[in-house]
Structure 1
Amino acid sequence: MNQPVIEINNLNFTYERTKVLEDINLTVEQGSFLGLVGPNGSGKTTLLKCLLGLLKPQNGEVKLFGQPIQKFKNWHEVGFVSQKANSFNTGFPASVFEVVSSGLTSKLGLFTFLGKKDRQTVLNAIEAVGLKEFTKRNIGELSGGQQQRAFIARAIVSEPKLLILDEPTVGVDAQTVQNFYEMLMKLNRQMGITLILVTHDVGTITDKVTHVACINKHLHFHGKSEEFESLKEDEMSDFYGHSVHVLTHSH
């Protein structure tokens, strides 16, 4: 049996006096594509920060690739893409190639000259997200969806085993969202990258992901996507704390 990529045991997190996460137990197997869903303020982002070692839970344990997160050192094996990096200065004079190659810093170190093999790795990452023809284009000239693809290429260029995406389609026009999800499926199925996708787009992702976890302070559901689709609306409403209508989109 493969070692789980992520193991979360009895995790609790409190901001000041507000308990955000309570008794979270979650295991993510290698090769999974997990959709992490839940209402605003449900603790999804807090959970991601615990996974990335940015927050320390008051109780519980987080393991990455079998190692307690306090001892985990191989961060190049973990890629992260936030909501369209609004803090990213798209006017900065950098090409797509330069932006993507910056993702090798954690692996190669700062001010390291890219050898032939490294340059090819960058080109492969750009091609994997469908931006080959934009390799030399300034990042600021790309559409919002294309920029997010470039950020994903930057995240996968170090060849991570785990890729975490926090609401990656925010600001992406509706016409490109479907292609965007299909690209993520390709990264998961063909490249074998374990994915965790935080999203509010419940109906759209259920036929893309392999598993779904629903969090609202507690972990209310964790199972295969088809099991999630079979939930009744009143069960979903209990999870979310308000009325929820799930519309699935099969293609």
Structure 2
Amino acid sequence: MKKPIIEISHLNFTYEQQRVLEDISLSIEEGDFLGLVGPNGSGKTTLLKCILGLLKPQQGEIKLFGETIQKFKNWHEIGFVSQKANSFNTGFPASVFEVVSSGLTSKLGLFKLMTKHDKQKVNQAIEAVGLSDFKKRNIGELSGGQQQRAFIARAIVSNPKLLILDEPTVGVDAQTVQNFYEMLKHLNEKLGITLLLVTHDIGTITDKVSHVACINKHLHFHGKSIEFESLKDDEMSDFYGHSLHVLTHNHSH
């Protein structure tokens, strides 16, 4: 039986008298790869912040790994990658290896020396995101897509069970985006990491994710990606509040 990793029930969030999320209930199970989609301003980032404990909903409950968020202590089990790195100072004098190893500092403490085992973990995380050839490079010399991979390696180096990514491909070109999603699929299927991905790229992700949740203040759809693909365009447009055509890419399954 797969265990639920995130359980959200009847969540409401109001910001300055404006209801941003209304009666959201959904669960993500162990091993799922969920794409969270919705138009700009639909409440996706607010929902993430609630899951990460950064915002407190007015009503409803969130459980992480079976515990209510108020009691949850094992934050090291959750990795988070924000919208980049766009705000990252590319002149920062650190190699990819150093950036990734900074993901261990919460476990190691700032000034502890890395053991051989720690270094091995850093190398494995770098390899998992396909950056082994770049580990000695300065992070500022990498392309946007490569930098984003380095931040994912930093997020997975401490072996989280859940990885949350907020629009990780903003400003990354289309071909790189495809490779990027392939890499996420690999992390999910081969390393068994449960993934929650917030994205605009509906068409690009439907053949990579296992489940889709579509929110626009309310939860309009939550189910397997194959069911999401079979929705009619007009049903999708109803969710989004404007006309939308879901482009699906060739399936590699």
User: What 5-or-longer segments of structure 1 have no aligned partner?
Assistant: none
User: What 5-or-longer segments of structure 2 have no aligned partner?
Assistant: none
Structure 2 equivalent of residue 229 of structure 1: 229
| Alpha-carbon displacement from aligned partner over 1:69-88 (angstroms, at most 9, x marks no partner) | 11111111100011122221
CA distance in 2, matches of 1:107, 1:2: 28
Q: Which moved further from structure 2: 71-80 or 31-40?
A: 71-80
CA distance in 2, matches of 1:33, 1:191: 12
Would you say 1:122 and 2:122 are equivalent positions?
A: yes
CA distance in 1, matches of 2:204, 2:231: 16
**Root-mean-square deviation (CA), in Å?**
0.8
- In the TM superposition, 1:191-210 aligns within 5 A as 191-210=191-210
Structure 2 equivalent of residue 51 of structure 1: 51
TM-score (norm 2): 0.98
Check the 8 A contact 2:85/2:147 in 1, yes or no. no
What code does the residue aligned with 1:83 have? Q
What code does the residue aligned with 2:193 have? I
Structure 2 equivalent of residue 79 of structure 1: 79
CA distance in 2, matches of 1:228, 1:75: 31
Check the 8 A contact 2:97/2:135 in 1, yes or no. yes
- In the TM superposition, 1:45-194 aligns within 5 A as 45-194=45-194
Check the 8 A contact 2:13/2:19 in 1, yes or no. yes
| Alpha-carbon displacement from aligned partner over 1:89-124 (angstroms, at most 9, x marks no partner) | 111100000000001122222222110000100000
Structure 2 equivalent of residue 219 of structure 1: 219
Structure 2 equivalent of residue 39 of structure 1: 39
TM-score (norm 1): 0.98
CA distance in 2, matches of 1:153, 1:78: 13
| Paired-residue identity, % | 82
Q: CA deviation at 1:42?
A: 0.2
Check the 8 A contact 2:38/2:200 in 1, yes or no. yes
Number of residue equivalences: 251
Q: Which moved further from structure 2: 158-167 or 80-89?
A: 80-89
CA distance in 2, matches of 1:58, 1:138: 44
